[in-house]
Amino acid sequence: MRFQGIVLGILLPAMACASPRTGGDPDTRPDTLAEVGSGVITAADLTERIDLMPFPGKDRPSESDSVKARALESLVAERLLAEEATVRGIGFDSVTALRLDALERAFVRDELYKKEVSAGVHASDAEIHSGLKKYLFQLRLVIFRCPSEESARALSVSLERAGSDTLGAPVSGPLPGVRPTSADTVIMNYGVTDESIEGPAYALDVPHRASPPILSPMLGWTVLYLVDRGLNPAASAQNLTERMITVKNTVERRKARAKGIRYMASVLDPRKAEADRGTLELLGKTLHALIASDTAAHRSGDRFIVTPGEVDNLEETLRGDLSRVLVTVQGGALTLGQALQSFRLEPFTTPSLGRRTFAYILNESVKRIAREEILAREGYGMNLQSSPAVTHDVSTWRNNWLAHMMEAGFTRSAGEPTEEEETRELIGYAHLLSPGYEVNVREIFTDSLRKAERYAEILRNGADMAALARSVSTRKGWAERGGESEYFHVRSFPELGLRALLADSGALVGPVSLTGGYSLFRVLGKRLPAGDSAVTVDSLRRALQDDIRSEIRRKNLDRFIAGLAEKFGVHMYAERLKGVSLFSHNMFTRRLIGFGGMMNAAPLLEPQWGWVSEYVRAHDQAP
């Protein structure tokens, strides 16, 4: 597979989204919701994470207060995990550094767009008024593409004559002596990308009339033929204020696009870029092989796509080549590893795996990546990486990534749950067992672990358990019978009953922690339900094993985070949450990056509030 050299071109910019900013002295800021270590969490930080992205319960207004509290506690947990990751040196590997650097470069480029392009772009009253007149109507058109201006002019005259001769009846069949390249029927609403055809289209206020020849940058020489003109459903569903906002946004987006093209030309025209053929071919072969390995999985509509999530696989495949130079541009080389990061924001797509088409698409993709790199370097030259918006965005995503890495590392180091941990969790599901399960035990119950351990030692040395239970066990009714419980339903006392069901008859078990104290027991007998359909302990354990282990890991992580809260220090201003309002709809919001690219508006906030009860419990138990 061979690839052409790269020539820089012009890339249409996308509109950027404003980002919340932080700063100032936390001691004097009334919008500070929490202090975590040396940092703070503000109301803007919280609303950014739960207004723009989904979070459990936020679509239920009646739970707004508890949702805000849980979201704040979850954000505190994320900060604590990120702090610990930093202390442990997690996230300083070369791949993570590459991803963070690419993210910062995207935010720098976005800030450059806001500074040089979107700033100062405004729609005038006249422009809004003109747009409103177009926005009200939806057009059904035939767009004729012609090989030359002369043929387009001839077609326009023929269409006009035919429409006039038939008193407004639609044209049907080919026109004599006129051969357009193509004819496509389209529905047009105000705001189309190709502005060159929008004005002439809306100028056709009488159906079955044709426009003069139009030179469209996207379509070439065209002639428009108006079939029908009706009301725009989108405009009809809005009030006047909403229509004005829609039109205003469209006008400003178009102005920003035109301004962006001019600005990009001023930056890119003097620059040159040259691709390394060997590295380019390596990238092409790797992308081609990834798609070809499962074309059905990579099919999206009429194109093949490499999703952002697959960039991790590409990094692993190309791990030994990530530092290779892909493109040489003024100010330093662009490596293969850096280029791959761009596919996280703008996925690689191609309509075909054919050699020529694929090579052309790859060249265009690398040209785009080179353009974006030059623009990012322009932003670095203005020190935009130090701007409040960029530092906030980078910090937000960095904390989220580090928290996930810390959590994953903790889960791996914690290993598999112990049998005792699984048993404790299984007790919570004992109500699902068949009611026919009964057990009879002999028990010594005490309020002290030290006492229970001493009694266990006495029993292991041969003491009579019934006699000892009568004298020391604090469960009086049983103690009078030498510690014998008599048969009881496991579901009625699962803390002890389930453990007895799992234990071998006659074996000394314990001490185990039960509500109110510690238990030593021996199983005297078991009664099992009749019938093959009964829910057994083993079947219940197998059915719930994944859920139980997941719950154990979650509780262990909660205790770990509670320890981090003690280590780094946390103070939450819960009363200030009353002044925070929420957008009560669960939805994913996407953010357009200036000069190209798209990503989630904010990282998903993982529900992680269980640590608070662990933290409070630890403090309540402290002497």
What pLDDT is attached to residue 433? 75
Pair 384, 412 in one domain? yes
Pair 408, 556 in one domain? yes
Given a contact cutoff of 8 angstroms between Cβ atoms, the answer to whether 224 and 141 are in contact is yes
What pLDDT is attached to residue 529? 76
Residues pairing with 548 in the sheet: none
Give the domain CATH number at 216: 3.10.50
Q: Would 296 be classed as within a structural domain?
A: yes
Give the domain CATH number at 521: 3.10.50.40
Pair 444, 497 in one domain? yes
In the predicted model, residues of the chain with pLDDT beneath 70 are: 1-28, 163-178, 413-416, 530-548, 619-623
The SS3 call for residue 380 is: helix
* Sequential DSSP letters for 236-273: HTS-HHHHHHHHHHHHHHHHHHHHHHHHHHHHHTT--E
CB proximity list for 122: less than 8 A, separation 6 or greater: 252, 255
What pLDDT is attached to residue 14? 31
Residues 348 and 358: their CA atoms lie apart, in Å, by 11
User: Residue 105 carries which side chain, given as an amino acid letter?
Assistant: R
Give 92's Cβ-side CA count (13 Å radius): 6
Domain end call among 180, 202, 231 = 231
Pair 442, 584 in one domain? no
Domain count across the chain: 3
**Stretch (H or E) spanning 185:** strand 182-188
Q: Would 240 be classed as within a structural domain?
A: no
Pair 450, 406 in one domain? no
The domain containing residue 91 runs over which residues?
Answer: 1-119+249-419+550-623
Pair 478, 598 in one domain? no
Can you say whether the dihedral through the CA atoms of 119, 123, 124, 127 is positive or negative? positive
CA angle 605, 610, 616 (to 5 degrees): 130
- pLDDT, tens digit (0-9, with 9 covering 90-100), for 315-362: 999 999 999 999 998 888 999 999 999 999 999 999 999 999 999 999
**Stretch (H or E) spanning 35:** strand 32-36
Question: What does each C-alpha distance from 308 to 305, 313, 361, 424, 607 come to in angstroms?
Answer: 9, 10, 17, 41, 24
Q: Would 571 be classed as within a structural domain?
A: yes
- pLDDT, tens digit (0-9, with 9 covering 90-100), for 364-420: 999 999 999 999 999 999 999 999 999 999 999 999 999 999 998 887 766 667 777
What pLDDT is attached to residue 435? 77
Q: Would 429 be classed as within a structural domain?
A: no
Q: Would 544 be classed as within a structural domain?
A: no
User: Residue 248 carries which side chain, given as an amino acid letter?
Assistant: K
Q: Would 239 be classed as within a structural domain?
A: no
3-state helix, strand, coil in the chain (%, to 5): 50, 15, 30
Pair 39, 65 in one domain? yes
Q: Would 424 be classed as within a structural domain?
A: no
CA angle 593, 599, 602 (to 5 degrees): 105
Of 607, 603, 606, 572, nearest to 48 by C-alpha is: 603
Pair 261, 361 in one domain? yes
CA angle 316, 320, 324 (to 5 degrees): 115
Q: Where are the alpha helices (DSSP H) in 473-536?
A: 476-479, 494-502
Pair 54, 102 in one domain? yes
Pair 192, 304 in one domain? no
Pair 402, 289 in one domain? yes
Ramachandran area for residue 126 (φ above 0: left; ψ -120 to 50: alpha; else beta): alpha
Pair 177, 297 in one domain? no
